[in-house]
Amino acid sequence: MHSSLRILVTGGAGFIGSHLCEELLRRGHDVLCIDNFYTGTRNNVAGLLANPNFELMRHDVTFPLYVEVDRIFNLACPASPVHYQFDPVQTTKTSVHGAINMLGLAKRRRARILQASTSEVYGDPEIHPQPESYWGNVNPLGLRSCYDEGKRCAETLFFDYHRQHNLEIKVARIFNTYGPRMHPNDGRVVSNFIIQALRGEDITIYGDGQQTRSFCYVDDMVDGLLRLMESPADCTGPVNLGNPVETTIRQLAERIIALTGSRSKLIAKPLPADDPRRRCPDISLARRELDWEPRCMLDDGLMRTIEYFRATLSA
């Protein structure tokens, strides 16, 4: 990235956002972190508050923001089903109004802007693994639609601003990411399993546990987002960022039990509605355009995440 820039990170006190803020500061930039603390926490950025180049502001992206910035990372939106289904109307507003407000800011400032989109734009995919050219198989009326369709609409807005106003945009489609600072109650499989294992509780698997996910460690994800932001202007994306190695949910549970030394047992429960059976990115575009692929092995990332939750639970 160029010499010191003023960079806005929306949702910057969230899981991925806080790691991104940290890395931007490490690279010598000024960081304005905004968050409404719906799922993000001050705790996630507590270690950054003493840094004179870091500013934390409570703000909701569904309202306009007037600040001077050179780059915008738009990460604001609850990303786990537990949180985005709690207030689905607000979830859609965050994706759609949030995109409009941040794109408006980028247009005024002629700032480059990156949208944190999601693998959920592919819905329950009929193509495997999913390339960026796949349009998806999404239920527009389901319980997850507020998130899936909100993110799809945000992508539409980004490309329309790009075509209509010649705005420099980047769209990243983020696949399952895990690591320290995940929200402990977000209902995601990695945090759920680790907490259940550390407490010695039964580990709940939905369905037969043969459904797959691909897990990308947060440091690799931040590296991908930064490479995309600094890629040539014609590399708008969308670009899949995620780990192309598939793991079944059952395998994940067994790894976590082994790594924590837990005595937890596995228990099966019925699958939730619209839960995708397989989820795996085709990352050939990221490899080619960004020279990026995940480096952190699953066991290493899980160990770091387990240590984080161990410390959190004993605090």
Contact (CB, 8 A) for 195 and 260: no
SS3 112: strand
pLDDT beyond 90 at 86:
no
CA angle 277, 282, 288 (to 5 degrees): 170
pLDDT given for residue 277 in this prediction: 79
How far is 90 from 85, CA to CA, in rounded Å?
Answer: 9
Model confidence at 16, in pLDDT bands (50, 70, 90)?
very high
Mean pLDDT, residues 97-113 taken together: 98
The residues, ordered by sequence, that sit 6+ positions from 12 with a Cβ below 8 Å of its Cβ are: 18, 20, 21, 31, 33, 34, 35, 40, 45, 56, 73, 75
CA–CA dist 38, 160 (Å, integer): 29
CA distance 38 to 62: 13
Cα Rg for the chain, rounded, in angstroms?
19
Question: What 8-state DSSP symbol labels residue 4?
Answer: S
Read off the pLDDT band of 1 (50, 70, 90): low
Which secondary structure element, helix H or strand E, spans residue 204, and what is its range? Answer: strand 203-206
| Predicted confidence (pLDDT) at residue 81 exceeds the cutoff of 90 | no
| Span 233-290, pLDDT tens digits | 999 999 999 999 999 999 999 999 999 999 999 999 887 766 677 889 999 999 999 9
Alpha-carbon distance values, 119 to 79, 148, 227, 234 (Å)? 11, 9, 19, 22
* Closest to 217 measured CA to CA, from 186, 183, 192, 181: 181
**Burial class (CB within 10 angstroms; exposed 0-12, middle 13-18, buried 19+) of 190:** buried
CA distance 147 to 152: 9
- pLDDT of the residue at 109: 98
Q: How many CB atoms are located within 10 Å of the residue 134 CB?
A: 17
Provide the residue ranges of all domains of the chain, joining segments of one domain with +. 6-175+217-242+277-295
Greater confidence (82 vs 25) lies with: 25
Instruction: Give catalytic residues, as residue numbers.
Output: 147
CATH superfamily of domain region 6-175+217-242+277-295: NAD(P)-binding Rossmann-like Domain (3.40.50.720)
